[in-house]
Amino acid sequence: MTRPFPQEFLFGAATAAYQIEGAAFEDGRTASIWDAFARVPGAVINGDDGDVACDHYHRYPQDVALMKELGLQTYRFSTSWSRVRPDGGAVNEKGVDFYSRLVDELLDAGIVPWLTLYHWDMPQALEAQGGWTSRDTVDRFLEYAGTMHDALGDRVRYWTTLNEPWCSSFLSYTAGIHAPGRMDVGDGMLAAHHLLLAHGKTVQELRSRDSSLDLGVTLNLTVADPADPDAPGDVDAARRIDGQFNRWFLDPIFRGAYPADVIRDFRTVDSSAVARWEQAVQPGDMEAISSPLDAFGVNYYHGELLAGTAPAEEPPAGDAPTERAVASPFPSHEGIHWVERGLPRTGMGWEVQPEGLTRLLQRVGPEYAPGIPLYVTENGAAYDDVREGDTVPDADRTAFLVAHVSAVRDAIDAGVDVRGYFYWSLLDNYEWAWGYEKRFGIVRVEYDTQERVVKDSGLQYARIIAARAV
């Protein structure tokens, strides 16, 4: 039996500028933090960079035609700060014109453009001045956002401020796994706050310009479950992961305050880092960060089953540090163990857990965003595809896609206002620290020739879209 989707539901796919555009230093574009990071020995598998990627900068008409062939109703893409305002400075008209032409191409094809302002590619010149640890970067981001609205506000309705600020703060400034590759607890906390502040101030600015825009943000979220719900250590492990991964961003955006328990956790890791962060949070910041939204994007790839050591008693008043194991602000969480469940795994080693997406949407909607439409802005899987002639039979990805689209339908059946699903990704592309080794696309890209081949998963997605049912 097939289940239809609501009439207003949008089916789409997503990409990011640095991952597909190429043309890294053409037409006035200058280096982003990823251009610099990709050239650090050992930072990226095989030393790959995104200088060419999928050559989308030159091939966008072909790619838009492919989207139309698949039946996509909407396309989520990001704009490159380094292309639009090179080095964070004056406007580069050639860079702006590229996105104007892309938007026109999408509209001519009947595809709704969904613009993300920041998908991790800050100009390297701004990073040299402090990057997201500097409050001045917020002002530079507002200038960039205003430039994009000046150019595209008449044709683009949906605007996402940030993609996955957890990655562009903690993975990037504390864990050193993503650009710019810093490894400092305090830097990660400062980056997270300034990213959120840039989000909030951009929402305020764009709304003051045009109240008809749909303004939102995208967070990558997880489902953190205790291995034993009756074991205090396991329950605390799930709390810590949920707190640092989910609630550190959800609470400021929707409740106007950072979660107190996570502040305590951070204080035990590095009290001086918390002191730096507290000085950075200025009057009015939380009001800006919690500016009302029109849409909320959820990125989901997998959940976690967690075990941990038993926590000590609750911290005393005043957030005084305790001796118990706490979550560090990056993935090597002390005292936490990830439990194997026997679930299938993707080529990234991530568990396939579609029911986690249903539960996540059921939680986020009522608990954080009542009355705000939810969109699954990324969901996908990497597998080791093998091309067979003119076909790419990717049965595992096809099953992943169907299962997760079904999980979204389950959430709708449960009463959650979910209005869209974007598969990650339209194309095989440059996958950050993994270079070109991991393939997420429903369209295969032969990187040596730039040939595009629709995979079986892409054909299946086209059938789902055409039927508007799963």
Over the stretch 346-391, which tens digit does the pLDDT of each residue have? 999 999 999 999 999 999 999 999 999 999 999 999 999 999 999 9
Structure tokens at 21: 């555009």
- Name the residue with higher pLDDT: 329 or 224: 224
Do residues 126 and 185 make contact, with C-beta atoms less than 8 angstroms apart?
no
The answer to whether position 47 is within a domain reads yes
The pLDDT assigned to 157 comes to: 98
- Cβ-in-10-Å burial (0-12, 13-18, 19+) of 285 comes to buried
pLDDT, average across residues 300-309? 94
- Whole-number mean pLDDT of the chain? 95
Does some domain include residue 60?
A: yes
Domain of 37, in residue numbers:
10-220+288-299+349-467
CA separation, residue 309 to residues 210, 260, 339, 354, 425 (Å): 51, 21, 13, 28, 38
Tell me how far apart the alpha carbons of residues 87 and 191 are, in angstroms, rounded to a whole number: 19
Is the Cβ–Cβ distance between 394 and 455 less than 8 Å?
yes
**DSSP string for 65-122:** HHHHHHT-SEEEEE--HHHHSGGG-S--HHHHHHHHHHHHHHHHTT-EEEEEEESS--
Whole-number pLDDT of residue 329? 55
Single out the catalytic residue among 105, 127, 378, 431: 378
Closest CA to 114 of 405, 440, 421: 421
Residue 252 lies in a domain: no
Number of structural domains (the chain) is 1
Please report the DSSP string for 229-265 in residue order.
TT-HHHHHHHHHHIIIIIIHHHHHHHHSS--HHHHHH
In the predicted structure, residue 316 carries a pLDDT above the cut 50? no
pLDDT at 410 over 60: yes
pLDDT value at position 309?
80
Question: Sorting pLDDT into bands at 50, 70 and 90, what band is 333?
Answer: confident
Residue that the structure tokens 């249903």 belong to: 358
Which pLDDT score is estimated for 1? Answer: 78
55: domain CATH number is 3.20.20.80
Question: For 63, phi and psi rounded to 5 degrees?
Answer: -70, -40
Per-residue burial over 99-108, b = 16 or more CB atoms within 10 Å of its CB, e = otherwise: beebbebbee
Three-state secondary-structure class, residue 158: strand
Q: Residue 57: CB partners within 8 Å, gap ≥ 6? A: 21, 22, 23, 26, 98
Q: At what angle do helices 456-467 and 395-413 cross, to 10 degrees?
A: 30
Q: Is residue 92 part of a domain?
A: yes
Residues 58-104: pLDDT tens digits? 999 999 999 999 999 999 999 999 999 999 999 999 999 999 999 99
Q: Is the residue at 331 inside a domain?
A: no
- In the chain, pLDDT over 70 holds for what percent of residues? 95
Give residue for tokens 């579609």. Answer: 354
Nearest to 152 by CA among 88, 217, 72, 77: 77
Mean pLDDT of the region 315-335: 49
Is residue 148 one of the residues assigned to a domain? yes
Exactly one of 105, 127, 164, 431 is catalytic; name it. Answer: 164
Q: Is 164 a catalytic residue?
A: yes
Retrieve residue 177's tokens.
């796994």
Identify whether 456 is part of a domain. Answer: yes
Does the CA dihedral 413-416-417-423 come out positive or negative?
Answer: negative
User: Does 189 have pLDDT greater than 60?
Assistant: yes
Give the mean model confidence (pLDDT) for residues 318-336. 52
Confidence of residue 227 (pLDDT cuts 50, 70, 90): very high
pLDDT value for 374: 98
Rg (CA), the chain: 21
Instruction: Report whether 76 contacts 377 (CB < 8 A).
Output: yes
Domain assignment present for 227: no
323 — pLDDT class (breaks 50, 70, 90): very low
